Chain A
Amino acid sequence: MLLRHTTDKVAERSALTINPAKTCQPVGAMYAALGINKCLPHSHGSQGCCAYHRSSLTRHFKDPIMATTSSFTEGASVFGGQANILEAITNIFALYDPEIIAVHTTCLSETIGDDLNQIIKKAYQEGKIPKGKKVFYASTPSFKGSHVTGYSNMTTGMVQYFSENTGKPLKQINLIPSFIEPSDMAEIKRMTSEMGVKFVMFPDTSGVVNSPMDGKFHMYPKGGTTIEQIKSAGDSSFTLALGRVGAMSAAKLLDTKCKVPCEILDLPIGVRGTDNFLDNLRKVAGVHVPDSLMMERGQLVDVMTDMSQYTYNKTAALVGDPDILVSTAEFLVDLGIKILYVVSGTPAGPKFERRIKEIAGEDVKVKTGANADMFYFHQLIKGNKPDLIFGNTYAKYIARDEDIPLIRIGFPIYDRVGHQYMPIMGYKGGLRLLEKILSAVMDRQDRDAPEERYELVM
Chain B
Amino acid sequence: MIDLIEARKNQVYVNKKDSFNIECDKKSVAGSVSQRACVFCGSRVVLYPIADALHLIHGPIGCAAYTWDIRGALSSGPELHRMSFCTDLRENDVIYGGEKKLYNALISLIEKYNPKAAFIYSTCIVGLIGDDINAVCRRVSSEKNIPVIPVHSEGFKGTKKDGYRAACEALFTLTGFDNESEVPKHSINILGDFNLAGESWIIKNYYKEMGIDVVSCLTGDGRIDEIKKAHRASLNVVQCSGSMTFLAKLMKEKYGIPFIRVSYFGIEDLSEALYEVARFFNEKEIIDKTSELVGRELSAIYPEIIKFRSKLEGKKAAIYVGGSFKAFSLVKALRHLGMKTEVVGSQTGSKDDYDYLKEICDEGTIIVDDTNPLELSHFIEERGVDLLIGGVKERPIAYKLGIAFCDHNHERKIPLAGFEGMVNFCREVYSSVLSPVWKYSPAYRKRKGGIV
Please name all residues of chain B whose beta carbon is closer than 8 Å to the beta carbon of A111 when the two chains form the complex: 94, 125, 128-129
- Tell me whether A16 and B400 are in contact in the complex, defined as CB-CB below 8 angstroms, given that A76-B156, A85-B30 are known contacts: no
**Complex: A161 Cα to B16 Cα, angstroms:** 50
**Complex: A362 Cα to B34 Cα, angstroms:** 50
- Quick check: A47 and B64 within 8 Å, CB to CB? no
Which B positions have Cβ atoms within 8 angstroms of A? Answer: 3, 5, 7, 27-41, 56, 59-68, 70, 79-80, 82-91, 93-94, 100-105, 108-109, 112-113, 123-125, 127-129, 155-159, 373-374, 377, 381, 392-393, 395-397, 399-402, 440-443, 446
Interface check A24, CB cutoff 8 A: yes
**Complex: A84 Cα to B27 Cα, angstroms:** 12
- Quick check: A16 and B396 within 8 Å, CB to CB? no
Interface check A19, CB cutoff 8 A: yes
Q: What 0/1 pattern do residues 19 to 32 of A give for CB contact below 8 A with B?
A: 11011111100000
Number of A-B contacts (CB under 8 A): 247
**Complex: A50 Cα to B32 Cα, angstroms:** 10
- Cross-chain contact of B82 among A2, A71, A218 (Cβ < 8 A): A2
- Quick check: B28 and A215 within 8 Å, CB to CB? no
Q: How far is the CB of B39 from chain A (nearest CB, A)?
A: 7
- Cross-chain contact of B27 among A22, A67, A71, A370 (Cβ < 8 A): A71
- Quick check: B125 and A143 within 8 Å, CB to CB? yes
- Tell me whether A108 and B31 are in contact in the complex, defined as CB-CB below 8 angstroms, given that A215-B401, A394-B68 are known contacts: no
- Cross-chain contact of B34 among A23, A50, A112, A370 (Cβ < 8 A): A50
- Quick check: A215 and B441 within 8 Å, CB to CB? yes
Interface check A454, CB cutoff 8 A: no
- Cross-chain contact of B396 among A27, A62, A146 (Cβ < 8 A): A62
**Complex: A345 Cα to B90 Cα, angstroms:** 13
Please name all residues of chain B whose beta carbon is closer than 8 Å to the beta carbon of A299 when the two chains form the complex: none
- Within 201-231 of A, Cβ neighbours of B (below 8 Å) are at 211, 213-219
Interface pick from A52-60, A166-174, A236-244, A444-452: A52-60
Q: Which of B65, B102, B112 has the most CB of A within 10 A?
A: B65
- Can you spell out 15 A-B residue pairs with CB atoms less than 8 angstroms apart? A5-B112, A15-B100, A23-B66, A24-B61, A47-B155, A47-B159, A52-B41, A63-B396, A72-B124, A88-B31, A91-B7, A96-B374, A106-B124, A108-B128, A142-B62
Assuming A5-B112, A111-B128, what are 10 further A-B pairs, CB within 8 angstroms? A23-B65, A23-B66, A47-B37, A58-B395, A64-B397, A72-B124, A91-B30, A213-B399, A213-B400, A217-B373
- Tell me whether A143 and B30 are in contact in the complex, defined as CB-CB below 8 angstroms, given that A14-B104, A214-B442 are known contacts: no
Interface check A160, CB cutoff 8 A: no
Q: How far is the CB of B337 from chain A (nearest CB, A)?
A: 24
- Quick check: B392 and A55 within 8 Å, CB to CB? yes
Which A positions have Cβ atoms within 8 angstroms of B? Answer: 2-3, 5, 13-20, 22-27, 42, 45-56, 58-59, 62-74, 76-77, 84-85, 87-92, 94-96, 106-108, 111-112, 141-144, 146, 211, 213-219, 345, 370, 394
Please name all residues of chain B whose beta carbon is closer than 8 Å to the beta carbon of A72 when the two chains form the complex: 124, 155-156
- Quick check: B30 and A52 within 8 Å, CB to CB? no
**Complex: A74 Cα to B108 Cα, angstroms:** 33
Q: How far is the CB of B60 from chain A (nearest CB, A)?
A: 4
- Quick check: A91 and B5 within 8 Å, CB to CB? yes
**Complex: A426 Cα to B141 Cα, angstroms:** 55
**Complex: A141 Cα to B61 Cα, angstroms:** 11
Q: How far is the CB of A89 from chain B (nearest CB, A)?
A: 7
- Quick check: B34 and A71 within 8 Å, CB to CB? yes
- Quick check: B62 and A23 within 8 Å, CB to CB? yes
- Quick check: A112 and B27 within 8 Å, CB to CB? no
- Tell me whether A27 and B62 are in contact in the complex, defined as CB-CB below 8 angstroms, given that A18-B85, A108-B124, A213-B402 are known contacts: yes
Please name all residues of chain A whose beta carbon is closer than 8 Å to the beta carbon of B32 when the two chains form the complex: 68-69, 71, 91, 95
- Quick check: B30 and A20 within 8 Å, CB to CB? no
**Complex: A143 Cα to B94 Cα, angstroms:** 8
**Complex: A76 Cα to B157 Cα, angstroms:** 10
- Tell me whether A143 and B401 are in contact in the complex, defined as CB-CB below 8 angstroms, given that A27-B62, A42-B31 are known contacts: no
- Quick check: A92 and B31 within 8 Å, CB to CB? yes
Please name all residues of chain B whose beta carbon is closer than 8 Å to the beta carbon of A213 when the two chains form the complex: 399-400, 402, 440-441
Please name all residues of chain B whose beta carbon is closer than 8 Å to the beta carbon of A66 when the two chains form the complex: 33, 373
Select from chain B the residue with minimum beta-carbon distance to A94.
Answer: B5
- Quick check: B68 and A20 within 8 Å, CB to CB? yes
Q: How far is the CB of A55 from chain B (nearest CB, A)?
A: 5
Please name all residues of chain A whose beta carbon is closer than 8 Å to the beta carbon of B29 when the two chains form the complex: 71, 87, 91
Select from chain B the residue with minimum beta-carbon distance to A56.
Answer: B66
**Complex: A62 Cα to B90 Cα, angstroms:** 31
**Complex: A76 Cα to B128 Cα, angstroms:** 11
Please name all residues of chain B whose beta carbon is closer than 8 Å to the beta carbon of A144 when the two chains form the complex: 90-91
- Quick check: B5 and A95 within 8 Å, CB to CB? yes
- Tell me whether A48 and B61 are in contact in the complex, defined as CB-CB below 8 angstroms, given that A20-B84, A73-B27, A143-B125 are known contacts: no
- Quick check: A24 and B28 within 8 Å, CB to CB? no
Please name all residues of chain B whose beta carbon is closer than 8 Å to the beta carbon of A69 when the two chains form the complex: 28, 30-32, 34
Q: How far is the CB of A95 from chain B (nearest CB, A)?
A: 5
- Tell me whether A70 and B30 are in contact in the complex, defined as CB-CB below 8 angstroms, given that A59-B392, A107-B124, A143-B90 are known contacts: yes
- Quick check: B393 and A20 within 8 Å, CB to CB? no
Q: Which of B124, B128, B393, B397 has the most CB of A within 10 A?
A: B124
- Quick check: A2 and B79 within 8 Å, CB to CB? yes
